[in-house]
Structure formats: C-alpha cells, structure tokens
Amino acid sequence: MSFTAEVAGRFAQAALASGEGEVCAAFRRSFYLRFPGERYACIGDISLGRGPLNVLVGEVKIPALGERVSVDNAHAQVWAPPPYQPGRLNIQDLRQAARPLVPAEGLGCLIVGTHNALSGHAQPALEALERWLVGNALGAEAEQLIGLGPGLTPSGDDYLGGMLVALRACGRGVQADGLWRWLQPRLAGRTSAISAAHLAAAAAGEAHEALHDVLNGDLQLEKLDAVGHCSGWDALAGALAVLR
C-alpha cells in the first residue's frame, strides 16, 4: 500500500526518508508507521490535524498491522508550529472557556482547578514538578508521571510534553534541556515507543497544532478533542503549569 503526503511534520519527514514503514498501530482514521531507529509517523486525513509526527494524505485506507507501507512526501508541505506570541493567552479566560469542555478523564481537570482519581494519584509527581519549575531540584516523585494513565500516549507523558513545549515557547530552553535530559533515559520500559517519539518532538518545542493555537490565544478549545483520547487537554495542563 502507498500514499502521497500533502502535509508532513518535521519529525515525520525525517522518518519517511527511511523508505517503507511497518504499521504498528491502527485506529479508525489514522495509523502509525514504525521506521528504523525508532522513528514514527502518523498517517491520516485532514481531520488528524498538523503535528510534528503527522502526515496528512488525501484519502486514508487503514492497512493491517504489520503491513509495509510507503509514503511519497517529495512534494509535501513541511509543517512547523507557529511562533509563540507572549501575552496573547489570558489564563482566566481560558479556564472559563474550558470549564464545560474538559474531559472527565486524564489530567485536563487541572486546567480548571479540579481533581479526579488520576490527578489525585499523580499529586506527588505534580508537586515535585511545581517545585522544580521555581528552582528546586527535581524530586524522584516526578518519575511517577511517566507512563501514567491509559492510551498510546498516556496522560502523564502528555502533561510532560506540554511542559516541554511551553518551556521552549517561553524562552526557558535551559530548563527544557534539563527536563529532557532527566526524562529521556527514564522512558524505556515505562511508556510506549510512540509516546517517547512524541516527547522527543515536544523537547524540541513541537506538538499538535491545537496546543500551539491555544498558547497563542485561540480559545476554540474543541480542537483539543481531536488530539488522541484526551492528549490535547493533558498537554495543555502541563503547558499551563509552566505559564503560571
């Protein structure tokens, strides 16, 4: 099976350069290809949205797991996130807009200052990260967040990814580098390789376009619902921890 890419993120472009990929995960409207070197690309139509690992094609037919797939990206538009515009996002307005929309699952509840069972379980890790953000050493409790929650990219990973993106956006690259140096060697065995690939992109400051749009003041928050099960909301919660 073969496809022609119309838009591809930077990390997806690097993966596609390896040639054919193997289908390693499949969903209703998208699928992941695995390439040598633990590189990944997510193939879908325009409803998938733009992101660092995403490849948008005109029509998607979901192949079988294990199938080899090629993607022609010779004429694809390369997507990159828009520059961060400080001051465009009003956190109080965001919380008000998010209150009726935040999913019951995941860590998105933290955006509006409420808690669920998962956020309660994660509280020691969240507090460790809060202390680190204001200049303290990163406590071992923070490791609890890695791989925490269900899904291909668990809520804890998405929260950490949102933090990495926001640190880069706010010009705190030294802290972003430090968090990634701490995080990267702890991923193996704690979370999926696909989630680790998304975190690598986040460490470079790149995530799904929906997160970047919100950080630049776009309060059409329904777009976050299209990012995984609740990944968009989880990532926004992590980003807001930095912005606060």
Mean pLDDT by 10 residues, the chain (244 residues): 96 96 96 96 96 96 97 96 95 97 96 97 98 96 95 95 98 97 96 98 98 97 92 98 96
Strand partners, 25: 32
Longest dimension (CA), the chain: 51
Strand partners, 9: 79
- DSSP letter at 49 equals -
The alpha-carbon radius of gyration of the chain (Å, integer) is 17
SS3 26: strand
Predicted local distance difference test score (pLDDT) of residue 172: 97
Predicted local distance difference test score (pLDDT) of residue 153: 95
CA-wise closest residue to 84 among 205, 240, 184: 205
Distances (CA, A) of 62 to 140, 145, 193: 41, 32, 21
Predicted local distance difference test score (pLDDT) of residue 178: 98
SS3 41: strand
Q: Please indicate, yes or no, whether the overall pTM of this predicted structure exceeds 0.75.
A: yes
